[in-house]
Structure 1
Amino acid sequence: MNSDLVPNDLWERIAPLIPARPPRRHRFPGRNPVGDRTALAGIVYVLRKVVSWADVPAERIGCSGVTCWRRLRDWTDAGVWPRLYEALLVELRHASLLDMNDCAIDGSHVRALKRGAHIGPSPVDRSRPGSKHHVIVDRHGTPLAVSLTGGNRHDVTQLIPLLDAIPRIRGLRGRPRHKPKRLYADRGYDFRRYRRLVWARGIVPKIAQRGAPHGSGLGKIRWVVERTFAWLHQFKRLRIRYEIRADLHHGLLQLACAIICLRRLRSAF
């Protein structure tokens, strides 16, 4: 079961990033702690399924859902997920599987069932509380950076933060790559101020104009970001936000992006 949820190639990449547990001080410390791979299997199980942490099948996974949640909390605080994500992006660039000349950006609403940070009334869901996933992808739909905001935040507010969030991706000789040449977006991003900010970064904004008839042709390249959202929402835990802590939901989002990058590596070899 664990090998299906956490295959060897994923575990080999994440194991060096997991911080070591502090030694126990008591003479009789009790039971041995659950293995990290077992806890990671429980996290991936929850990410793929629509189950609460309390409903994680301990007899199948090997540990309780509470233990998995605690490891998710500890590893999120330790910054494991962004480092795993960036390491896989480096591998993709080293294998010449990243095409950052043309990138696309968009946002997607998700309903939130609990309180917490980055939650607001969604204008597309009758003002019900929700959040937004924002993502910027390369020409093939590989996610380069993701962010989480409240459901009432406009997509354009994450345009510059997402561009700045793209890590400096090494993997080839020369300078690390951290920005595209052209950025594609729908008409929701059509603001002069943000066009100027994109130009100032040396990026050509390919943004549909508001008020113009449809059929600009930009969708021939921009459609990959919609496919990326379909990939992300195959992880059923991301379709609805259940976590109160925004950092934990963002950590699951980054883990899903890392798995998508790993799948692309597998399909290329």
Structure 2
Amino acid sequence: MTTSSPALILDCDGVLADTERDGHLVAFNQAFAEAGLNIEWGVAQYADLVKIGGGKERMRHYLRTHPEAGVSEADLDETVADLHRRKSLLYVRLVEAGRLPGRPGVRRLIESALDDGWRVAVASTSAERSVEAVLRATVGERTRSRLAGVWAGDIVAAKKPAPDIYLRTLTDLDQDPEMVVVVEDSESGARAAAAAGLRHIVTISSLTADDSFPAAATVVSDLGEPDAPAQYRSGLDVRDVDGTVTVPSLQLILDKADRPWPQ
């Protein structure tokens, strides 16, 4: 029987921490250098590449469209797999070294939601080990143990902006989609949430300020802290008097009868 308990589902990269620019990009470039490849992605270039869901998929796309990198089609799958394994290890080391602090309000909102009886989960198409490392660094072991689960990696065939990761999470949780609020940071992630029929908040990250979020319930700079209010961008202004996104903010989004995207 589908549960009617409310649920908060968060993406990882760019939501829990600003991982793309300061974590994944750094690790990708280091992995390329160690492999002897003459590749170094810049921030602007990577901002376009992150629109492709999944690290392996980004590398495969880049290597196929840049033959000067010297990776043949015959060697592509093996090269991508090797690079991704090394990149993931380098990335986890960055996280464990404390190089990627959690974004404002993330731990506060997760713990408040759990305390108020919400189910909380993480749904990401990044590698599970990387997601778990960021999650534990952001909320701590005790709070991680209270979560309903983490859905990550290659458990679905199609990465965001396809809705598959959210649909899989809803199925495994036996969760009523009408009782879910998602937190995303990118256009591809927001499109995935919308395609799954889920209300969503967008907290823009360093690489997604210019993305479009037509179906978002609200777009803010981050979730906010009492001493560092979130900046409102568009949609419903669900912030409380301190300028933070709270559990009542989530409930307000659920209570809104008319959705901004077509049914």
Confirm or deny a common fold (TM above 0.5).
Answer: no
TM-score by length of 1: 0.32
Higher radius of gyration, 1 or 2? 1
TM-score by length of 2: 0.32
